[in-house]
Amino acid sequence: MVHFKDKSAGYLVNHLARLLEQALAVAIRPLGLTPGQFPTLLALWARDGQTQAELVREVDVEQATMALTLKRMERDGLIRRERNPEDSRSRLIYLTPHAKALEDRALAQAAEVNARALADLDEHEAQQFLSLAIRLVETLRKAPD
Amino acid sequence: MVHFKDKSAGYLVNHLARLLEQALAVAIRPLGLTPGQFPTLLALWARDGQTQAELVREVDVEQATMALTLKRMERDGLIRRERNPEDSRSRLIYLTPHAKALEDRALAQAAEVNARALADLDEHEAQQFLSLAIRLVETLRKAPD
DNA sequence: GCATTTTGTATAGCATGCTGTTCAAGCTGC
DNA sequence: GCAGCTTGAACAGCATGCTATACAAAATGC
């Protein structure tokens, strides 16, 4: 019998997200990183010295979530904050040398987890899955409700 | 420029899962339900009177997670627990009449959220996405690490 | 030039997930 | 018939997400 859960995008995506997050957690634990830090690290590896508000827009989480993530990253020695000469409400967020040094190994672990998840799909199917996922994200980001 | 996040199954699925969970939260809030309760409700609507261990296997979350979810559901008047005559370590979990009465409306809301997420895809693409997602879930559930 | 609005952050409170630990009850083997 | 293993469940501690609130600094309007 086919259950609701095999026909529900929400159910499947939630389940898949938990499995992927777990796999990533295991893969990057030896580096002292956690899955929740990954999107912010990607943004900072791409461009160092951003404000919290910029990171919020790029990572698409709520400001309160980003504030807490940055607090943990600071605690863990991944970032430091310096005053922003342009706007004294905000501070600029910079990666520590330690966090910069982790980039290659962290990306390699993430790529390995992705490859493992997609292992059962051929090249075309994998690309298809990513394209469709992007379209769902875009659809939901635009939907006002 | 294409970012890592547009090529990473993990990044995309995490983002998509957050968007879908949020949309579902809004849609079922008027019913007094939360997204985390949904998988357990689906299992109990399909078969009432299961043990916690059975629900854990069906929903595929950790036992501690299920224990806490059930505690909140009990607090919210969605379930009650009765002693299991077969095994006094466990209790059988039953939906309250209130929770049973919510089934149709809750399923309708979930279906509406799924439809909205898939709105940009045609019939074939939507089916393709669900099939591929199922295969990723199965691959990761089998992977030992 | 000042009141109002907007923007940038922090914090509290809560839901949902995890690991680790503990404990009771059932099962197994000798 | 009991020691030891297995199974069912609860709870503590923590990460990651959300909403709601609060407040300071910047921008805007008149």
Q: What is the pLDDT of residues B26-64, one digit of tens each?
A: 999 999 999 999 999 999 999 999 999 999 999 999 999
Please tell me whether residues B92 and B38 are part of one structural domain.
Answer: yes
Please tell me whether residues B90 and B38 are part of one structural domain.
Answer: yes
Burial class of A124 by CB neighbour count within 10 A (0 to 12, 13 to 18, 19+): exposed
Q: Could you give the dihedral angle defined by the CA atoms of residues A94, A112, B56 and B116, in that order, rounded to the nearest 10 degrees?
A: 70
Q: What is the pLDDT of residues A121-134, one digit of tens each?
A: 999 999 999 999 99
Q: How many domains does chain B have?
A: 2
Please tell me whether residues B82 and B40 are part of one structural domain.
Answer: yes
Query: Any long-range contacts for A47-50 (C-beta under 8 Å, 24+ apart)?
Result: A48/A94, A48/A95, A49/A92, A49/A93, A49/A94, A50/A92, A50/A93
Helix (H) or strand (E) holding A81: strand A79-83
Largest CA distance in chain B: 63
Please tell me whether residues B91 and B108 are part of one structural domain.
Answer: no
Confidence of residue A52 (pLDDT cuts 50, 70, 90): very high
- CB spacing of B15 vs A114 below 8 angstroms: no
Q: What is the mean pLDDT of chain B?
A: 95
Query: Does the structure show a pLDDT above 80 at A145?
Result: no
pLDDT of residue A144: 52
Task: Look up the domain containing B46 and give its range.
Answer: 34-96
List the beta strands (DSSP E) in chain B.
79-83, 91-95
Query: Does the structure show a pLDDT above 90 at A82?
Result: yes
Please tell me whether residues A11 and A38 are part of one structural domain.
Answer: no
Arithmetic mean of pLDDT, A55-78: 98
Spatial distance from the CA of B57 to the C1' of C5 (Å): 53
Please tell me whether residues A114 and A144 are part of one structural domain.
Answer: yes
Please tell me whether residues B26 and B15 are part of one structural domain.
Answer: yes
Query: In this structure, what CATH number is given to the domain that contains residue B75?
Result: 1.10.10.10
Please tell me whether residues A14 and A38 are part of one structural domain.
Answer: no
Number of helices (H) and strands (E), helices first, in chain A?
A: 7, 3
Please tell me whether residues A18 and A45 are part of one structural domain.
Answer: no
Residue B16 CB contacts under 8 Å (≥ 6 apart), including other chains: A13, A17, A133, A136, A137, A140, B117
Considering all nucleic acid strands, name the nucleotide whose C1' atom is nearest to the C-alpha of residue B53. D8
Statement: the CB of A19 is under 7 Å from strand C: no
Residue pairs spanning A and B at CB distance below 8 A: 172
Distance of alpha carbon A9 from alpha carbon B113, whole angstroms: 9
Please tell me whether residues B4 and B27 are part of one structural domain.
Answer: yes
Arithmetic mean of pLDDT, A88-100: 97
Give this complex's ipTM. Answer: 0.94
- Both structure tokens of A132: 């469709």
Nearest CA in chain A to B7: A130
pLDDT of residue B142: 87
Confidence of residue B66 (pLDDT cuts 50, 70, 90): very high
Cβ-based contacts of A18 with chain B (< 8 Å)? 60-61
Please tell me whether residues A145 and A108 are part of one structural domain.
Answer: yes
Compute CA B36 distance to the chain's CA centroid, rounded to the nearest angstrom: 6
